[in-house]
Structure 1
Amino acid sequence: MTDGTDTQPTADATRECGSRTARLRTTHADAETVAAALRPDNTDSMRMRVEGDALVTRIERETTGGLQSTVDDTVVNLTVADAIVDTTTTHYE
């Protein structure tokens, strides 16, 4: 995208006390709006916070497969939300 938005997440995965954890950090032109769009779909295993233009999402699941599925879903949702915010900003300002 031309606005400097980066929807390619960086991820750190760790294993904590029998659970698996991933941390995604993505940057957005409007991170607060992207976060607001995603929060209704967040489960108890997810924590999300905005740090400036970055959205940091922490996901903790009991299994590697569950973690992978949740991370995959989150990345798709982030990409779609970011594209919608970008489109509405570009075409409706």
Structure 2
Amino acid sequence: MTGDGKRASRRATIRTRHDVDSSIVVAAIAPDNTDEMDTRLERADGASERVVTTIERETTGGLHSTVDDYVVNLDVAERVAQHGRTTATTPTSTPDEHESATETDTDTNTQ
């Protein structure tokens, strides 16, 4: 306990830069945040952005566990954003390609 009657709080701030659009990473990660977490974009080095998440928990063990979960979620969010970027730049099939694929009942084009 601190002098004002409140329990001491543990805090971690995690700052990351990504090869993908940081706003996509924030949008993917934010729904998993608990009430003790705040995720936002910050400008760094003039033009680049970074994802910043602050986590506060009452115990060191709770903080450790939440940071571990966050790092896993962050990795997944970046992979999904990377996959989305790769998929967005992959050409889609032409109507003729689609017709030949449906003739064999193996339409693999998900777009």
User: Which bin holds the TM-score, normalised by the shorter protein?
Assistant: 0.7 to 0.9
1:51 alignment partner in structure 2: 42
1:91 alignment partner in structure 2: 87
1:79 alignment partner in structure 2: 75
Provide the aligned C-alpha RMSD in A. 1.2
- CA drift at 1:90: 1.7
Structure 1 residues 20-51: Cα deviation after superposition (integer angstroms, max 9, x where no partner): 00000011221111111111111110011102
Amino acid at match of 1:64: T
Amino acid at match of 2:70: T
Q: CA–CA distance in 1 between the matches of 2:11 and 2:70?
A: 14
How many correspondences in the alignment?
Answer: 77
| Structure with the largest fraction of strand | 1
- State the 4+ residue runs in structure 1 displaced beyond 2 angstroms: none
Q: Write the mapping of 1:1-93 to structure 2, written as runs, cut at 5 A.
A: 18-28=8-18, 29-52=20-43, 53-93=49-89
Q: CA–CA distance in 2 between the matches of 1:47 and 1:40?
A: 11
Q: CA–CA distance in 1 between the matches of 2:15 and 2:39?
A: 10
Structure 1: gaps of 5 or more residues: 1-16
Bigger-Rg structure (1/2): 2
Query: So what's the TM-score if we normalise by structure 2?
Result: 0.65
1:13 alignment partner in structure 2: none
Structure 1 residues 40-85: Cα deviation after superposition (integer angstroms, max 9, x where no partner): 1111100111024210000000000000000000000000110110
